[in-house]
Every structure is written in C-alpha cells, then in structure tokens.
Amino acid sequence: MPFVKEKFHVKQTMPAFLFVMRTFDLTQAQAQRLVCKGRLLINGESIYNPGAKLEPGTVEVVYFVPQSQGRKPLFQTKDFMVFEKPSGILVHPNTMSTPYSMLDEIRSLHGENANAVHRIDMETSGLLLASKHKKAENFLKSSFERKAIQKSYLAWVDGKVEKPFFVDMPIKVNNDYSECKHKVFIDTTGKHAHTDFKPLLYDKTLDATLLACYPITGRTHQIRVHLFHVKHPILGDPIYGTTFETANAYLDGTLSPEERFEQTGATRLMLHAQTLQFPYGATYFIESKENFAGMRGEICPREKRKFNK
C-alpha cells in the first residue's frame, strides 16, 4: 500500500509545517498541504493547522511511498513524460487505502515533485501526461487551462453511426443521486460543452461503431454524456446508458463481471485517450500505440446486451 504511517521524534518546539518540511525535505506549500489533509497525528489524532506548535515528543506521519509495478513512459523528455494508462487504474489515489495508481509510477521515476497534469477517468485507458518537476507542471496545467493542449479519444459505441456530427449541449453537475447516478447531465443552465465526432469503423456483427472523439471543451464526463444524449452510449459505460440499479451496483462494488458485460455492453468502458498535441518549446504530437480498434473481444454480442437509452 503506497501510504505508510511512521513515528518520528520532535526534538524541539516548532510549527507543524516546519517539522514536516525538515523531515521530508518538502517545500513550505507541500508541508502545509500534508498537515491540512490530517496526515500529521499526535496521540492518534490528526491535526489540521500547519501553524500548530509541536512540543518535544513522538508524532506520527502518514505519507505516500510510491510502489512501482514497472510501467514505463511511452515517451519522455527532460521535463515531462507520457504514459499509456490501462483501464481500471486511477491517476491519483482517491483514499489512503488505494492500493495502486499511476502516481506510483510517476513518483517512482522522478520523485515527490513529479505529478500527473490532467485527469483521466479510472475506466478510461490511454495517454496520460505527467510533469517531472514543478515548473513543467505549472506550464502544462496552464496549457490545459488555455486550451493549448488538444486531445482526441476513440470510443466504441452502441449502434451504427454513418456521418460525422457534433454535440453542442451544456453540461451541469448532478447534486442529487437519489434517482440518477449520472455525475453530470445535459441542462440549459449548465456550462457550455462541445464535442466533435467522426465514425471510423462499423462492426455489423456487434452493431457497434468506432468513433474518433474531439472534445473542444473539457467538462467532466463530457464525451460520455454527449454520446448518451444522442442515444449512442459508449459500450461498457456503467453509469451512462444503463439502469439506475446497474449503476448503483457498480458504484457499490456488487456488480459481477457477467452482469457488467451484459448490462453495460462490455467488460470495461470502451473509451481510450488516443492523441495529445501541445507546445513545449517544440510542438509535440503523441499517439497511443494500443490497438484499441482491435479490442472487440471486450464487447458483448448485440443480442445479449441491455441498455437504458
């Protein structure tokens, strides 16, 4: 498990953040964040005030120790690296009990200051961009904010799509999960969202189309909810395009692989981050080497799959 709890001895009175800075060789901001997350404990109780005075004695600190599984970058420079993230793996640990995430590989290779600079859903596979140091992280994150980084995805969707199309529908965050497990939904009061789509391949036997997806904006679950809106849900999507009961079972961790296969149409979310293009001195264009188009074996036969479109 990448988070460990270790005891340390405080030799003299000092602010909590300063003790963490000196013990772990962190910047002040990094040390303050660690304390604010409750990872510094006295007598088993977390303290959350970075300026709190620590008296001489024993404290405990919970901190991240990366544990690599040997994944190497697809491409790298002295400033950044690009990984092929598998489906089913988080980018960052979402709790201290998360057994493994891509952050394990990123920090194993380049230390505490290396970080992922954007997020990909756990179920989505494909290209993940990570910085090797804080200067690169700040530049790349600001590039995403300025829309200087273009991304494209591939998706296997239910049904036949014959022509290119776009969806220009606003997306709103869902604050009530009592009747719908969708994280976001289409709503006129939501934020502007635009995605372009282009059909690449139709498999008649599976009644499934491979689409190239070009998100112009970057809203949460944008591609997923836009395709659900036009009644071509992404195969394997356990949230959009399935029933409330199936989505709830997935979120509770009680959906069996067999139920997942038939109720959502695939063993996994059939969405893949295919390309990245961005300036960093030179202009980089990076394409995934995974044969996502060939992953048809992950898709449930048409006559067995069940949808709530």
Number of residues assigned to the chain: 309
From the candidate CATH numbers 3.30.70.890, 1.10.10.10, 3.30.2350.10, 3.30.750.24, the one assigned to the domain spanning 67-146: 3.30.2350.10
What does the alpha-carbon distance between residue 213 and residue 197 come to, in Å, rounded to a whole number? Answer: 5
Provide the CA 47 distance to its chain's centre, in angstroms: 29
**DSSP annotation string for 197-226:** EEEEEEETTTTEEEEEEEESS--TTHHHHH
Determine the pLDDT at residue 95: 82
pLDDT tens, 229-288?
999 999 999 999 899 999 999 999 999 999 999 999 999 999 999 999 999 999 999 999
**∠ CA 252-258-260 to the nearest 5 degrees?**
50
Mark the ranges of the chain whose per-residue pLDDT is less than 70. Answer: 1, 307-309
Going through the chain in order, the beta strands assigned E by DSSP cover: 3-10, 14-15, 40-42, 45-47, 53-54, 57-64, 75-76, 80-85, 115-116, 125-131, 150-158, 165-168, 171-173, 184-186, 194-203, 208-215, 271-280, 282-287
Q: Which residues, at least 6 apart from 54, have a Cβ–Cβ distance to it below 8 Å? A: 10, 13, 14, 15, 16, 19, 42
DSSP, collapsed to helix, strand or coil, labels residue 258 as helix
Q: Give the start-to-end residue ranges of the domains of the chain.
A: 3-64, 67-146, 149-309
Q: Half-sphere exposure of residue 3, counting CA atoms within 13 Å on the CB side?
A: 16
| SS3 call for 24 | helix
Locus of tokens 């804080």: 134
Rg (CA), the chain: 22
Same fold? 67-146, 149-309: yes
| Superfamily of chain region 3-64 | RNA-binding S4 domain (3.10.290.10)
Active site residues: 121
pTM of the model: 0.89
Looking at CATH, the fold of the domain delimited by 149-309 is given as Pseudouridine synthase (3.30.2350)
**Closest C-alpha to 130, from 141, 121, 122:** 141
Question: Residue 278 corresponds to which tokens in the numbers above?
Answer: 């961005």
CA dist 28 → 164, 176, 205 (Å)? 50, 38, 59
